[in-house]
Amino acid sequence: MSEKLMVTGAAGKLGRSVVSLLLDEFGIAPADLVAGTRDPGKLADLAARGVTVRAVDFGKPETLASAFAGVDRLLIVSTDAIGSRLAGQRAAVAAAKSAGVKGIVYTSAPDPHGADHPLFFAGDHAGTETAIFDSGVPYRILRNHWYQENLLMSLPAVLKQGTWYTSEKPGTKVSYVAHDDCARAAAAALVRPWADDKTIYDITGDEAFTTEEIAGLASSILGKPISVVRLSPEVLAANLKAAGLPEFLITLTLSMDATNSAGLLAKPSGAVQELTGRKPRPLAAFLEANRAALTA
């Protein structure tokens, strides 16, 4: 009998991508797949294909054990409720164990453990990972590095003004990874044969770059010069505030710069290829594919 696989957050961008890959690339039968979401109506198209759609709300922990009933392997996609998601994700882990789930895959962040972590939401992931470790359920933790697609939010403005302001330390390297590679790695982690897995994967690209190197690559491909200017966190925060950025985005920018400076994303791994059999998309290919959006 086939194992039953479940993806939470299946109406979100990552969860939806994973479900599509499971069906269309990995050949999982719809009858063997459960898609969980707070709003089942958003997944009517999957239900029409024969996928079981269940209401899954981490904010209602009393409902989760029944939502996970009959599931063999569970992908917990970390929610976007930054700062308030830990309790719900812990509840999901506990419910998975109670329901008899045989393996948990979790989408985490670069090495989130340790006191005074520079990433302000690292505790959400560290706490969830710890709950999984303590549950005794076999696991595959996927520590996704920054998406290449994040550059779509910042690089267009950089290209227009010709200057990239950062509070990173000089020489800081970062390995970006494509969103599709993260989704494919998650799907592969869910379907690959399991034993008593207790494995952590750093989901990265094949290359790591300094900001200057990314600026040079972008300039070469997109034809617009970029100079990099390093500022103190305090000065950068003041400049971003003066430019009208919301406080949350200022905090996020500085926190990510500090995380980069700590070297937590500096070392590429071979995890994407190990899991999927495919090399991750190079950053240059991302820039080429998104030329129009980046230079609009």
155's tokens: 């690089």
Ordered by where they begin, the domains of the chain are 5-137 (3.40.50.720)
201's tokens: 């994967």
What DSSP assignment string belongs to 18-67?
A: HHHHHHHTS---GGGEEEEES-GGGGHHHHHTT-EEEE--TT-GGGHHHH
pLDDT digits (tens, 9 = 90+) for 35-83: 999 999 999 999 999 999 999 999 999 999 999 999 999 999 999 888 8
Confidence of residue 194 (pLDDT cuts 50, 70, 90): confident
pLDDT at residue 1 is higher than 80: no
CA pair distance 31, 5, nearest whole angstrom = 10
Confidence of residue 293 (pLDDT cuts 50, 70, 90): very high
pLDDT score at 35:
98
pLDDT score at 7:
98
pLDDT score at 196:
82
pLDDT score at 82:
87
Whether 209 contacts 171, CB under 8 Å: no
Over pLDDT 90: what percentage of the chain? 96
Averaged confidence pLDDT in the chain: 96
pLDDT score at 111:
96
pLDDT score at 285:
98
pLDDT score at 81:
87
pLDDT score at 83:
82
pLDDT score at 223:
95
pLDDT score at 89:
97
Q: What is the mean pLDDT of residues 183-192?
A: 97
pLDDT digits (tens, 9 = 90+) for 114-167: 999 999 999 999 999 999 999 999 999 999 999 999 999 999 999 999 999 999
pLDDT score at 127:
97
Whether 97 contacts 131, CB under 8 Å: no
Q: Is the dihedral angle over the CA atoms 221, 224, 230, 236 positive or is it negative?
A: negative
pLDDT at residue 16 is higher than 90: yes
Confidence of residue 179 (pLDDT cuts 50, 70, 90): very high
pLDDT score at 235:
98
